[in-house]
Structure 1
């Protein structure tokens, strides 16, 4: 059974990513380190998949990841080839992005979120081996990515390849997902977890505010501060995640939005940035400044609306990749023929049904046999 709290956390992370890319507000990266949260949740799911099916879980995870990328590539790669992208063997990286696939001058920005799939792919491939190491030596394995990142940031390994740097930056969050799945975070007492989170958070903030990047305190430019602050956030937000969150489903609109965002997470993530790039030039045409609050709000709404249209058109690919029946809009309750027959109104009403007109006075019903009384539902 799905944990709706984790579903809610993932949907909030996706919304935060989109809003950040539209507005560029650095404060959003501090308030909610969305990418690390998404990697932590993915790590937890990957550990669960490996426990269920073993190494074949890697192929299943890739099957769910890659088709949405291929749909995007089917649209944008021909467009880039027609506008100056050289046709070289590297174009095949759009099928299996173990490295950054090539892009031309406009595609480089519009398709920049592909790095997430590149990292995700490497983390999935590494997971069968690393999960075994993690379970033999949890703490050293968990600390290894942070030590690697520190070595890179302090200049000990300054020319590290991009993939290795990303392992240092985000694989720690993925391993915290392993710890969540195995129950290690849940078993930590508050006397251990809370001080640990506070120390990591304080160290992360200290590094962030003493190593400001070109965009100020935007975490995307401050890798070590990002990793430490994100680890603190994950320890609290996921380490103390409730086992259930029935309150999410008490509000139909919230429940449906959470379901849609989770079932269409890749579609929203992959397609939102092209619309952000396409809408940005329109700001000047209507007289808004880049930071005009009304203009930013309108652009956020338009990006979500356009992504919603794409989700209607191609979002079913995510259902097919997950071997679900494709749905136009996920989350609609489905009744079987038996359910519909049981709930269909009958006319005239069965003679055995007790019907009392609304305006009629209550009349004591004749006492029925015990067997008949027991058939009434609660």
Structure 2
């Protein structure tokens, strides 16, 4: 019988590796961090509030948790682990591609489109195996009253994460060996690379390859921190080291951002070095303080089912949330056409919170419609709403059945 496996980035209970400071009791805390990260990502992409990545650096957290999970998995042969991770990563992307590419082609995107003459068919291969960002059509007219203009750009926006995740997976066996041999050098190598890019000491031609290296330099240290946490390297440090060093590194990143016109339209996403430093410092602290939760604390037990759902469908939610936001905003803006609304309820129309709530409703639709791809990719029985209720008598909030590592 084939053992079902967790989706990319979804933690699962495992036997502690030798040298690991803690065992599966850490999973509840990691599930909470991942759920908060997804929640913050959706809010940020809706509002664009520059301070949100400072409150919680979602991408750094997600990469760190994925790095931790990858280090756990590498107890098995690396080729087997990489093949399994790629198998679980790509089907949700393919489902997105079938919908998105079909829509773009129907609106006139094709081999003769500007920007991809002659290379169009080759570039489509990135929708199958995203070594680089999958292409998309620019300047599409949208569908009046349903989805806004240039929807393909929003549709393809989250795909950089899939590309970056793929590269991290491929590099992980080498990173783990380097981490065990030279932990300090390996952890700080991506930040040194980010500094070299920022200062212009390294300049690479083209766009596709440099973008992959920029992502590695920005979030690679967080991925490696997750691996270091699993290996017990952070645990072996004196307890005062992390609380002393992590805030200082994060503050350097904040100082750099504030001195480079930080604000809406110019936030951490447009400052790779500041993002790298702030995410590194924050993630280091979060990993340092990780509590031992074998079960949900009483104050969090009421949120166990939604947290379980967010973890079970993390890839689906991340891939589809941008287009859900665009559709919701487009529909919400139509309310301005009614006189009674703009005359008496303009405060409601201008508020982001109703749109945020409706966006999550639409995300829920996408979970039901497309989330099965994550189950099939992980060789699990497909579920429409995997929030832990069908767990064979377990209390809500426990792992969906079949998610063994």
- In the superposition, the TM-score normalised over structure 1's length comes to 0.84
- Contact 2:332 2:349 (8 Å CA) reproduced: no
Trace 1:1-378 onto structure 2 (pairs within 5 A). 1=13, 2=24, 3-87=27-111, 88=120, 89-105=122-138, 106=150, 107-159=152-204, 161-213=210-262, 215=264, 218-248=267-297, 252-287=301-336, 295-330=351-386, 331-335=388-392
CA apart distance, 1:23: 1.1
Please tell me the root mean square deviation across aligned C-alpha atoms, in Å. Answer: 2.2
CA apart distance, 1:167: 1.1
- Contact 1:212 1:222 (8 Å CA) reproduced: no
- Contact 2:335 2:349 (8 Å CA) reproduced: no
**Which segments of 5 or more consecutive residues in structure 1 lack a partner in the other structure?**
337-378
CA distance in 2, matches of 1:274, 1:314: 14
CA distance in 2, matches of 1:56, 1:335: 30
SS of the residue 1:275 aligns to: helix
Q: Alpha carbons of 1:54 and 1:204: their partners in 2 closer, same or farther (altered >3 Å)?
A: same
CA distance in 1, matches of 2:279, 2:185: 19
CA apart distance, 1:216: 5.5
CA distance in 1, matches of 2:276, 2:347: 28
SS of the residue 1:158 aligns to: coil
- Contact 1:201 1:228 (8 Å CA) reproduced: yes
- Contact 1:55 1:128 (8 Å CA) reproduced: no
- Contact 1:219 1:225 (8 Å CA) reproduced: yes
Once the two structures are superposed, residues 163-221 of structure 1 have per-residue CA deviations (whole angstroms, 9 ceiling, x without a partner) of 11111111111111111111112232231111111210121111010012573662111
Once the two structures are superposed, residues 247-289 of structure 1 have per-residue CA deviations (whole angstroms, 9 ceiling, x without a partner) of 3477554111111000000110001101212233345432379
Q: Alpha carbons of 1:227 and 1:293: their partners in 2 closer, same or farther (altered >3 Å)?
A: farther
CA distance in 2, matches of 1:190, 1:291: 49
SS of the residue 1:246 aligns to: coil
Q: Alpha carbons of 1:30 and 1:334: their partners in 2 closer, same or farther (altered >3 Å)?
A: closer
- Contact 1:283 1:290 (8 Å CA) reproduced: no
Q: Show structure 1 runs of 4+ deviating over 6 A.
A: 288-293
- In the superposition, the TM-score normalised over structure 2's length comes to 0.78
Q: Alpha carbons of 1:213 and 1:283: their partners in 2 closer, same or farther (altered >3 Å)?
A: farther
SS of the residue 1:286 aligns to: helix
CA distance in 2, matches of 1:55, 1:175: 19
Q: Which moved more, 1:26-35 or 1:309-318?
A: 309-318
Structure with higher RCO (Cα < 8 A, 6+ apart): 2
Q: Which moved more, 1:207-216 or 1:197-206?
A: 207-216
CA distance in 1, matches of 2:193, 2:84: 29
CA distance in 1, matches of 2:346, 2:254: 28
Larger radius of gyration: 1
**Which segments of 5 or more consecutive residues in structure 2 lack a partner in the other structure?**
1-12, 14-23, 112-119, 139-149, 337-341, 394-405
CA distance in 2, matches of 1:303, 1:39: 24
